[in-house]
Amino acid sequence: MHQLFPPSVSDRVSTRNSPQNNRLSSTAIPRRRSTNLCRLTPSEVGRPPGDRACQAADDRAGRPAGLAGGGCARAVVLAEEIGRVRIITLNQPRRLNVLSIDVVVLLAKLLEKWEKDDAAELILIKGSGRAFSAGGDLKIFYDGRTSRDPSVELFYRMYWLCYHIHTYKKTQVALAHGISMGAGASLMVLFSVVTERTVFATPEASFGFDTDCSFSYIYSHLPGHLGEFLGLTGARLSGEELVAAGLATHFVPSEKLPELQSRLISLNSGEENAVKSVIEEFSINVQLDENSILNKKATIDECFSKDSVEEILASFEAEAGKEGNEWILPFLKSLKRSSPTALKIILQSIREGRKQNLSECLKKEFRITMNILRTAISGDVYEWDPPTLEAVDAGKIDLVFWPFEEDLELKIPTGDDNRWEGKYEDSPYGISKSLKSHL
């Protein structure tokens, strides 16, 4: 099976086999308790506006706003500590567990706290309701249209978090049941468990954006040219297809997920092989439907290996005219409806990703995102401008990738000693925001 992150990106497992992580404890179910995270102020991260009763309850309990350990039902993130197991539940089911700023702040604080805690060995992450996570909060995205740096805090924090998730020092299991799209899918970690109800996609091209949150790295390392196909068309994959493509590790029927979670809690250990063995007790081998796009690999590789979006589109259109290739038509329609500028940026970003490591890809994605939102070369993120592929200036596309001044780049840690440095609040963006708030 194709590995989501190949051996060259090995820093995330450098401490996973330490003595404390090789220790298997009693199989008795450990005591459940809520987390005692360091206190945040309401201005740093909070609940939906007007949720004063929940905020008061948090203040009394000493919990940060937006976090609950069995408390207020409206908390955006639920966190539990059970023996050596830690559980994160994304808790905005009506909003499909979108990743807003408060959610991303809480995830980062929890993961940092637990990585530094020798008593924490296994991290489970799941979503409430019918979604694992539908991705970033597009309301923030569109509300920032008139700002110089719209949504900079969300994107800086999210890309910085992506690095830490994918290089994490403790064993993680994502129970990715339901909708798993865009930034939300980047939370699918070392062990990614999917079900028959999992729906995956990265639809950014359809709204004039780039394939981000580490996907320029992930897609560039998929077999053949499947990554270009997924990034450009926004094609949806089922749980079975995710496992077959190497984007998830295990397929477990949804009715078995509660029992799987209970067994992992009872295991009370983060020893990687032991965790894998438990998951395999519940997982089943996938059988792809004969109409799965993964069975069309030869055609996808032939078309999406072309040098430009125009050539890809022409090749794909030619294949669509051949007998038995009706499956191409909806993807062709999607390509033609998508943002011309975004398609060219996505293709270049994925292609560059083949020569970049994870840190380099995330820094590049931050530059691209900020330049798109600043409408550095066009207003294409909000309406298609220019409206055709032929009208897109290739020279201007390169400007979106151009490095920032060093101080303004996304700060990715370079070693374990300063692993959790480079936070948004310590960046020029965060400092500037803090100064403005005190004026």
The amino acid present at 384, given as its one-letter code, is W
Helix (H) or strand (E) holding 250: strand 250-251
* Residues 6 or more apart whose Cβ sits within 8 Å of residue 258: none
Mean pLDDT, residues 373-386: 70
* Residues 6 or more apart whose Cβ sits within 8 Å of residue 433: 153
Q: What is the pLDDT of residues 113-160, one digit of tens each?
A: 999 999 999 999 999 999 999 998 777 766 666 665 658 999 999 999
Helix (H) or strand (E) holding 52: helix 52-61
Q: Contact 194/286 with Cβ under 8 angstroms?
A: no
Residue 136: its pLDDT value, please?
A: 87
Give me the domains of the chain, ranges plus CATH numbers. Answer: 12-431 (3.90.226.10)
**Residues forming beta bridges with residue 201, ordered by sequence position:** 181
Q: Contact 346/218 with Cβ under 8 angstroms?
A: no
Q: What is the pLDDT of residues 171-180, one digit of tens each?
A: 999 999 999 9
List the structure tokens of 58.
């948090």
Give ∠ CA 374-423-378 in degrees, rounded to 5. 10
Phi/psi zone of residue 438: left (φ > 0), alpha (ψ -120 to 50 degrees), beta? Answer: alpha
**Residues forming beta bridges with residue 33, ordered by sequence position:** 81
* Residues 6 or more apart whose Cβ sits within 8 Å of residue 274: 24, 267
Q: What is the pLDDT of residues 71-126, one digit of tens each?
A: 444 799 999 999 999 999 999 999 999 999 999 999 999 999 999 999 999 999 99
Q: What is the pLDDT of residues 8-31, one digit of tens each?
A: 323 333 333 333 333 333 344 465
